[in-house]
Structure 1
Amino acid sequence: MLLFPCYELNSKDFPIPSIVKDEWDKWNILGTVLVSLLLQTLLIFIAPLRKRTEKRIITLFIWAAYLLANWVAAFAVGLIFSAQGNDNCKELVNKDIAVFWAPFLLLHLGGPDNVTAFALEDNELWLRHLLSLLFQLVTVAYVFLQSVHNEFWIPTLLMFVAGTIKYAERTCALYLACLGNFRASMLPKPDAGIDYPRLMEEYSLYKEAHIPVKIVIGKEVEKRYRALDAQSSINKIGEIEVVNAAYKFFKIFKGLIVDLASSLDDRQESRAFMLERCPQDALRVMELELNFLYDVLYTKMPVVHCKRGFFFRLVCSVLIVISFQRFASHHKQHLHHLDIAVTYTLLIGALGLDLVAFVMFIFSDWTIALLKNSKMMSIVYSIRKKLSLVERQRWSNSVSRHSFIKYCVEEQHLNWFDKPGLIFGLNGLLVEMRYIKRTKLTKCKLMEFIFNELKYKALKAEDPKVAKKMCSARGGWVLSQSFITFNYPISSTVSEEIEYDESLLLWHIATELCYFKDDDGIADQKTNRKFCKILSDYMLYLIVMQPTIMSALAGTSLFRFRDTCEEAKKFFAEKELTLKSLSIYENFKFFDGQSKKSMKDQKKKACKELLDVDTVVRPAKMKGEVSRSLLFDACMLAKDLRELGRNRMWEIMSKVWVELLCYAASHCKPNAYAQHLSKGGELITFVWLLMAHFGLREEFRKDIPNSKLIVAK
């Protein structure tokens, strides 16, 4: 007895019309193969954009192309495999020519050189890609053996070998970029040290023979590098020197991503190098250094830029050229003109993509660095410069900003566009579209300001122990150096007694209150005021919108932020200070001058109302543990800061914000920085690396040689 009735299926049981199904059966292989080639062409040109853009739409487009490229190529292989065993298939494609197309899909599955992984998690799935490689190889080999006597078996075999090499390169790149393997590749060989029993045996024999002997205990090897003072001359370096220095320090500091400490010798060398550089050159070196790290984690560059990789790449190129020649010289009168056109398209596409990859390979920063100062390097660099192949921008060079006052003053209400977003869990994306602002760092000198502040600290912290203390400072070191006696609560807001996220939120709101309360003043004051505002907004953005970066420091930041926002909204509603928030559609329009002025006036009025509240008693004592709001605690901090005078206030606040940023940079998980290298980069990543260069880190490895047995003469 059957549990389920059986039905005889026919074309009427399918909702898809038969004419559509017939057309799909005719064009599916041809269409998917061409789409696969199109996606590969798109990826090789647009993939580099993701490391230097912060625009979500571009990142989303690259992500879609990356996923579709893998899926379409694998799907096309399956279609060709299925068609070989179906004698009644209705494809327009000749079966022999379809077999020739299958190895091209292996080339496509190998992907372009400039994108192997979209995210760090893709590298951890290298074993899955290895199994996929084996499965696809078996599938294509089966298709080839099914028609081994076809007329195109020689070019098919050549393309099969080339496709296997390409796909193997990608799998190898994923394997090497897996953080566990990445860490293992940098670990030194195990060293058991001196042969202690033998050493002591020899020592005893010498003693018994009354021969003067002594054991010299190994001491830490110290390399002295010239330390500069603030008045030392700054040496500028050229592009080639930038590439060589970046590659050198990349090899030294790449272990920081997987928590491997650098040595004290490396600290001294990089510290001396950075102290001799102007901010612009130092930032160029670090930008290129992070670009090398990006290539290691997300591209094939480490695989192809070695002797073995170069050999296999040369073999792959030769095989593609020979395959093209064999097909072009073949008699094709019996083939359909469409089959011939598509085959030539695939061959030209394979040659074109290989040529683009070769140009990228030859004129890359990796080639310049590996050739070092040879004559060939000068030739390559000269050609690259003439052809304008140098990347002008290697990261987004911008920061995201989140303003507490703006977020709370604007009344939040749901409109027709917001509701679907909340249903599908896109609330964070909607908040980012509405309230997050991007600021280009090229329009201000914030990077130079941070560099000079860290350089000043580096000159004060030649001893690694002092550097360790500076890394643990959250603004207290700046306040202690200002020679001003602060009243409560300024000093306590940056102490270790309160959590970092609480200190950050207090200083952000206080900065907002002081910023909107004051107008622009003299040049120095205006510059420090702008730096404070940018850093304050950026740090709030990180703590609220980027929990992956700040996970080690976030604590209960979300609860504090929500409670503080709720109290602010309630206060502004009572004072009738809230503005109707803009819809998503209206956010894409330009504000007219009147709207901008109205919003600015409203923020200024809101800050004035907050500062006018009498805050004699600390609010936290009256609220207890129920609410974590810090709104009026921040008001007290702002009032105390304003007593310093505007000029002094903005100078101190700007340095405190740099210290808060540095504390976060030195206490966050390094792999979070690696994740954001493929998303346009983050300012905090540069600060983290700059602190490592200046030796402002908590941990360094000491290299101590073995002890020796010395016999006196």
Structure 2
Amino acid sequence: MVGGLIKVFNEWEIQLLVLLSFTLQLFLLFAGNLRRRRSNGFLRVLIWLAFLGADLVAVYALGLLSRRENNITTIIDKGSQPLAFFWAPFLLIHLGGQDTVTAFSMEDNNLWLRHLLNLVVQVVLAFYVFWRSIRSLDSLGFLTSGVLVFVAGIIKYGERTWCLKRGSLKGLESSTRVLTTWSFLHLDPAIQGYSKAVYDALRSVSYALHIFSARGYCMSNFYPPGDINQTVKIGRLQLGLVYDELYTKAVVLRTKSAMIFRYISQLSIVVAFGLFHAIVDKQRYAKVDIAITYSLFIGGFFIEVWSIILNSTTSPRTWLMLKRRKWERLAKLSWFIFSNDIIGLSEKKQRWPSSIGQYDLVGWMNGTRGTRFSQRVMTVVIRVFVGFFGGEKVNIFWMSKVLDTWYMDADEMTMACVAKEIIVLDYELRGMPTREWPNVGSMLAKRMQGFEQFFARTVVEMHVLTELLLNKYSRLLDSDMVASAEDYGSMVRVCRKLSNYMMYLLVAHPTMLPLTTSTAGLWINFQSPYKVSDLSKEMDKYDLQPTKETIEEMVHMWMRILLYAASKSRAELHVAQLANTGGELITFAWLVMAFFQIGDTQRRRISIMKTPNGETNAESKAYAFDVIASTSEHGSSRPSSSPDERAVVIE
């Protein structure tokens, strides 16, 4: 039985591999765009496996075809000649990948030289296979058809390698795309709302690439003054356009030379198919081989046409190009397709980031967690490891970082709060009155001492204090405060979401935060539920009342902590994270702040707070919290830093 299956597999091996390669390309064509809008881990794993497997299958099939002819069997030995050698150029086309997913991560782009070497090796191998098959071809037309497919394969594979080079860090730094925008266009007064946001995002995408390449100051701001909603829309669109530049073949759609090669490739496929259909001898070749060849031709043509239609009609650049040439009817049609909820990329689909990671350290400390499947699994693991084997809970904290992490929607309110806080911070830097902290000011003055040196510990402590305050506030919302609960329930959700998000960054992406030491020892100190009780006593010292005003200030506090962390982060980390689930919230904040010239890589830097002996000239210094650090030992267990370490001059 097993021997028979192995024999059948050996007879059909090449055919199965070629069909599998084609199937993987179809999957990537339709699923490649989903990862930019979905945080589903299972889907991402499938796309990742398909992305890696597509190259692996195509390369293995080429290697198999290069074996000696007498070792290659046909599906059914009925005297028909094999047509498998004719498929080698199609495998080159498959190695060229799909327009929707040129690279899965930044590492793929940075290794473009390796892909170039693979291009040379695989082209030589395919040429060797095809050269050996010449003697089995029965006409010059057949040979010409194969050569045309070979040309298309080289173009497609070279196209992918070129896009990888353009998307690498070195390619981004040396790119001439910067400052070559649509800024020469005259804005149509009729362009308002979402279309105005798309227009501004397109004009500023090269400036966004300038920021992601860490080239220096950003001297232009494309965000409308004080318009929070438009700021959110433009920022999200910019992240989407940068993603297209780095991880897809978007550059092919707007470069004349690339478009010419694309047309040559498509024309070659069409002519090759016509020749093959006209001259193929159905009696000489196996019917299944002929059927597979037809599938490769027709399927490849479908993929090319669908890619052009999908990328052209759903690209905002097509709409703006038509507007520039004053083809109003075509522009309206293009905009209808682009903004359509079903086939286009409507405003609802332009969600960068699409989700916000969450981690509840208090739940880990108290042994309470949510009802999600992964969290239930973590509960069982803890009971078995600690209760049955007698192990220490801290030893499996690494599992909690994975299983206890979940994602929530990046809702409009949270995004608007981030954008508003950036605008408020910009006003403060321009000499406007600073935000006041009447309810949490005393806590900030005490707990924020040494924040730059003890960032991780402070974030953990503030996370615990926030959860205690929110739980206390929720218990006070009785039936007489239903209206208040409806009004401020959303603020509570935003506050908890931001608190959990900063903890998520601390456990999942600590490199994106301004940490001065490792967090390994920190988690050991926060394994006991008694820590929660200790911090609860600390909260009473700060006189934190569970009021609506206090909750609002806590939201602003977490916003400022997020903006401070974003201002200290590095561009290459944001470039890498942009490929994951639509990027991180901290990436959105970092990009928008850069356009406002705020951040360590920009003209205006911020520190966390004032010190007793520090200068308070608003024209020369900027602070995330406009409070003076307390010199009292009351409520603070960490050492103070010198004034020079806290105040950062705006350059």
TM-score, scaled relative to structure 1: 0.72
Provide Cα deviations, 1:16-60, integer angstroms capped at 9, x if missing partner: 965344323210110000000000000010011111111111110
1:473-492 correspondence to structure 2 within 5 Å:
478=435, 481-482=436-437, 486-487=441-442, 490-492=444-446
Residue 391 (structure 1) aligns with: 345
Quote how far apart the aligned CAs of 1:636 are. Answer: 4.6
The counterpart of 1:456, out of the listed 424, 434, 441, is 424
CA distance in 2, matches of 1:345, 1:417: 53
CA distance in 1, matches of 2:330, 2:191: 23
Q: Secondary structure at the match of 1:445?
A: helix
Provide Cα deviations, 1:175-198, integer angstroms capped at 9, x if missing partner: 111101210225999xxxxxxxxx
CA distance in 2, matches of 1:144, 1:117: 28
Quote how far apart the aligned CAs of 1:162 are. Answer: 0.3
Bigger mean CA deviation after superposition, 521-530 or 302-311 = 521-530
Q: Answer yes or no: is 1:148 the counterpart of 2:134.
A: yes
Provide Cα deviations, 1:501-522, integer angstroms capped at 9, x if missing partner: 1221121111011111222462
Quote how far apart the aligned CAs of 1:432 are. Answer: 4.9
Provide Cα deviations, 1:337-392, integer angstroms capped at 9, x if missing partner: 21111111111110111011111232222333455522347515514525833213
Q: Secondary structure at the match of 2:515?
A: helix
Compare relative contact order (CA 8 Å, sep 6+) and give the higher one, 1 or 2. Answer: 1
Provide Cα deviations, 1:145-169, integer angstroms capped at 9, x if missing partner: 2232413211100000001000000
CA distance in 2, matches of 1:701, 1:433: 38
- Label 1:368 to 1:276 Cα distance change in 2 as closer, same or farther (>3 A): farther
Residue 688 (structure 1) aligns with: 590
CA distance in 2, matches of 1:659, 1:362: 40
The counterpart of 1:529, out of the listed 473, 476, 492, is 492
Contact 2:100 2:249 in 1 (8 A): yes
The counterpart of 1:504, out of the listed 441, 459, 462, is 459
CA distance in 2, matches of 1:351, 1:528: 52
CA distance in 2, matches of 1:120, 1:312: 25
Q: Secondary structure at the match of 2:324?
A: coil
Contact 2:502 2:562 in 1 (8 A): yes
Quote how far apart the aligned CAs of 1:543 are. Answer: 0.7
Contact 2:211 2:571 in 1 (8 A): yes
Residue 170 (structure 2) aligns with: 180
Residue 219 (structure 1) aligns with: none
Contact 1:258 1:671 in 2 (8 A): yes
Contact 1:158 1:319 in 2 (8 A): yes
Residue 599 (structure 2) aligns with: 697
Quote the RMSD (CA, aligned, Å): 3.1
Quote how far apart the aligned CAs of 1:109 are. Answer: 0.2
The counterpart of 1:366, out of the listed 317, 326, 341, is 317
Provide Cα deviations, 1:318-343, integer angstroms capped at 9, x if missing partner: 11111111111114232222111111
Residue 414 (structure 1) aligns with: 381
Residue 15 (structure 2) aligns with: 30
Residue 614 (structure 1) aligns with: none
Q: Answer yes or no: is 1:342 the counterpart of 2:342.
A: no
The counterpart of 2:521, out of the listed 545, 556, 559, is 559
CA distance in 2, matches of 1:49, 1:528: 30
- Label 1:336 to 1:645 Cα distance change in 2 as closer, same or farther (>3 A): closer
- Label 1:693 to 1:236 Cα distance change in 2 as closer, same or farther (>3 A): farther
Q: Secondary structure at the match of 1:259?
A: coil
- Label 1:161 to 1:517 Cα distance change in 2 as closer, same or farther (>3 A): same
Q: Answer yes or no: is 1:250 the counterpart of 2:214.
A: no
Quote how far apart the aligned CAs of 1:430 are. Answer: 4.5
Q: Answer yes or no: is 1:679 the counterpart of 2:642.
A: no
Q: Letter of the 2:471 partner, please give it.
A: F
Residue 435 (structure 1) aligns with: 404
Q: Secondary structure at the match of 1:156?
A: helix
Residue 376 (structure 2) aligns with: none
Q: Letter of the 2:400 partner, please give it.
A: V
Residue 648 (structure 1) aligns with: 549
Residue 74 (structure 2) aligns with: 91
The counterpart of 2:232, out of the listed 275, 283, 287, is 283
Provide Cα deviations, 1:433-482, integer angstroms capped at 9, x if missing partner: 6422322233x61221222222222223237xx9xxx9xxxxxx75xx33
- Label 1:418 to 1:115 Cα distance change in 2 as closer, same or farther (>3 A): farther
* Residue segments in structure 1 that go unaligned for 5+ positions in a row: 1-15, 190-234, 471-476, 573-606, 611-631, 703-713
Quote how far apart the aligned CAs of 1:286 are. Answer: 1.4
CA distance in 1, matches of 2:70, 2:462: 74
Q: Secondary structure at the match of 2:579?
A: helix
The counterpart of 2:472, out of the listed 502, 517, 532, is 517
Q: Secondary structure at the match of 1:438?
A: strand
Q: Secondary structure at the match of 1:90?
A: coil
1:628-639 correspondence to structure 2 within 5 Å:
632=534, 634-639=535-540
Residue 110 (structure 2) aligns with: 124
Q: Secondary structure at the match of 2:425?
A: helix
Residue 294 (structure 1) aligns with: 243
Residue 48 (structure 2) aligns with: 63
Identity of aligned residues (%): 26
Contact 1:237 1:281 in 2 (8 A): no
* Residue segments in structure 2 that go unaligned for 5+ positions in a row: 180-189, 369-378, 605-651
Residue 601 (structure 1) aligns with: none
CA distance in 1, matches of 2:439, 2:363: 32
Quote how far apart the aligned CAs of 1:173 are. Answer: 0.7
Contact 2:253 2:259 in 1 (8 A): yes
Equivalent residue pairs, number: 552
The counterpart of 1:354, out of the listed 304, 309, 319, is 304
Q: Letter of the 1:414 partner, please give it.
A: V
Q: Secondary structure at the match of 2:350?
A: coil
Q: Secondary structure at the match of 1:414?
A: helix
CA distance in 1, matches of 2:244, 2:397: 30
Q: Letter of the 1:503 partner, please give it.
A: T
CA distance in 2, matches of 1:134, 1:31: 25
Q: Secondary structure at the match of 1:76?
A: helix
Contact 2:218 2:597 in 1 (8 A): no
Q: Secondary structure at the match of 2:32?
A: helix
Q: Secondary structure at the match of 2:407?
A: strand
Q: Letter of the 1:290 partner, please give it.
A: L
Contact 2:211 2:591 in 1 (8 A): no
- Label 1:561 to 1:89 Cα distance change in 2 as closer, same or farther (>3 A): closer
Contact 1:544 1:558 in 2 (8 A): no
CA distance in 1, matches of 2:359, 2:259: 47
Residue 645 (structure 2) aligns with: none
Residue 577 (structure 1) aligns with: none
CA distance in 2, matches of 1:456, 1:103: 58
Contact 1:172 1:303 in 2 (8 A): no
CA distance in 1, matches of 2:159, 2:143: 24
Provide Cα deviations, 1:584-610, integer angstroms capped at 9, x if missing partner: xxxxxxxxxxxxxxxxxxxxxxx6xx2
Contact 1:511 1:638 in 2 (8 A): no
Contact 1:25 1:91 in 2 (8 A): no
TM-score, scaled relative to structure 2: 0.78
Provide Cα deviations, 1:289-325, integer angstroms capped at 9, x if missing partner: 1111111111111134200011111111111111111
- Label 1:526 to 1:171 Cα distance change in 2 as closer, same or farther (>3 A): same
Q: Letter of the 1:44 partner, please give it.
A: L
Provide Cα deviations, 1:479-504, integer angstroms capped at 9, x if missing partner: xx3357954x5303224465221221
